[in-house]
Amino acid sequence: MKTYTGTRAFDGLDVRVDGEKLNPRTDLKLLSKNGFEWSFEGASPHQLALAILADATDDATALRLSRDFMEQIVANFDNDWEMTEADVKAAVQALERA
């Protein structure tokens, strides 16, 4: 099972999946030219939501639910966060039921 992590440090942000840099998936949809962000709603957190969803599920789900995932999940991340693939899929199920 995959684990997604984000850390905020003096030298910038670092987002990884299983220790490797998370692909921002700008090929799927470019939402932000400024990379990832979190803890608020906006283009960069939306790009992070899209990237996590595309990695944990599929492109269609990522495109369909990225805004809701950003608003409900990514905007509420602390400075440092961790989320498992199971957490992502549970969030997807909850968003699809809403």
Give the pLDDT confidence of 40-63 residue by residue, as tens digits.
999 999 999 999 999 999 999 999
Helix count and strand count (H, E) for the chain? 3, 4
Per-residue tokens: 63: 């495109």
Average pLDDT, the chain: 97
Per-residue tokens: 43: 């283009």
pTM value? 0.96
Predicted pLDDT of residue 81: 98
Percent of the chain with pLDDT over 90: 95
Amino acid at 35: G
Amino acid at 23: N
Per-residue pLDDT of the chain (98 residues; tens, 9 = 90+): 999 999 998 889 999 999 999 999 999 999 999 999 999 999 999 999 999 999 999 999 999 999 999 999 999 999 999 999 999 999 999 999 98
Distance in angstroms (rounded) separating the CA atoms of residues 1 and 65: 21
Angle at CA 82, nearest 5°, toward 79 and 86? 145
